[in-house]
Chains A and B, each alone.
Chain A
């Protein structure tokens, strides 16, 4: 039981996020009005995606040092769940953009960066499908994972912060924090962060366990 406390924490935090997220009094921020509540759902997806992609690349590096197939399974599961959260972040963001920016798809650098990150990991998953030999698949996809991650994922994280963006919190637009005079937003926002991240890691461990059961006869 001691090992599972963080799962309970995730459930509690997410319950709090959903209940408080819809009930709390949000400050009026420009044309956002009630859509500000999306902050508790959209922003954590982004963090979950990067967390999982980082887990994925860390496992790829571990695979190349020890050639342990379990690490490869972990890397692919993390990439899968990361893509799922990236997609959810993209959809919630696009929905938000439809009502505040006036267009579903904009030229916003953060939106483009997310699309690029998603495409890279979809390519990683497609690359994995093209091999029949498990060892070769593990090795080559680990190399691609490290190459793509080192080259771009940090960049998709840094560039949108440097250039002008429609997103709050970039070069020219202030973040939501300065408008949140009562601190009600941040009261839900930080627990939401932790809750969603824990949930994403939970899904990832479940998927990894399922995969390991599926390949039971390989891992003796």
Chain B
């Protein structure tokens, strides 16, 4: 019970910080809109396959940028303070939860701005929204752990991209494949398997983060 309470308090602290500053939120909002606008200026309203590819690339960069901040805003002193009051496992759990929430909101914003600027080739909207949420959550989980590692390497943002891109390449390919069903009414064999694989991967990331993060914090 105390564990849940501590975790939720940490999430609440992040939320309150965000609500007061609104820096990350508006920063990312501007980032999404300008990226999508650039795509719009370069290629107008693309076909569904290109639309899908563009959308997931936008998602990727949004998640890198949104989540890289989550450890950078913590000063060294504050991290030390957290280290003395909570178990590292609760700390990473709180970060994972908060980033999941952040990425869920960002995913919806990215989806809406893609539809507004690039047209709407989606047939099965609710299915696509579901895939986008799942994708946003998977990406946020993965990048939270990588941000935690990158934070140890003197907050090197470029390092996060170097570490992250190879790992998320299969994830993104899988997401783009699953999402294809939302554009064309065809039967895709092995769809359920890919969903299960994605969810399994998410569970694995959470498990690994819980096990490995305490080692990362021993400074």
Contacts and interface: CB of A to CB of B under 8 A. Distances in A.
Contacts, number: 70
Contacts of A113: 170
A120 B167 contact: yes
B83 to A, nearest CB: 15
Interface string A135-147: 0100110111011
A13 to B, nearest CB: 33
Interface string B176-219: 00000000000000100100010001001100100010011011
Given A127-B162, A143-B212, A148 B167 contact: yes
Contact of B212 (A127, A146, A156): A146
Contacts of A122: 166
Interface residues of A, number: 28
B216 A140 contact: yes
B215 A143 contact: yes
Contact of B208 (A116, A131, A140, A151): A151
A123 B163 contact: yes
B214 to A, nearest CB: 10
Given A127-B153, A130-B156, A136-B152, A143 B170 contact: no
The B interface is mostly helix, strand or loop, or mixed, namely helix
A116 B166 CA distance: 6
B162 A150 contact: no
A113 B167 CA distance: 11
A19 interface: no
Contacts of B197: 155
Contact of B205 (A64, A136, A151, A159): A151
A139 B153 contact: no
B163 to A, nearest CB: 5
B208 A150 contact: yes
A133 to B, nearest CB: 10
Interface of B: 145, 149, 152-154, 156, 159, 162-163, 165-167, 169-170, 190, 193, 197, 201, 204-205, 208, 212, 215-216, 218-219
19 contacts: A113-B170, A116-B166, A119-B166, A123-B162, A123-B166, A126-B162, A127-B159, A130-B153, A131-B153, A140-B149, A144-B149, A144-B163, A147-B145, A147-B149, A151-B167, A151-B201, A151-B208, A152-B167, A155-B201
Interface of A: 64, 113, 116, 119-120, 122-123, 126-127, 130-131, 136, 139-140, 142-144, 146-148, 150-152, 155-156, 159, 162-163
Given A147-B149, A148-B163, A152-B167, 19 more contacts: A123-B163, A123-B166, A127-B149, A127-B153, A127-B163, A130-B153, A140-B149, A140-B153, A143-B149, A144-B149, A146-B208, A147-B145, A147-B208, A150-B208, A151-B201, A151-B204, A151-B205, A151-B208, A152-B170
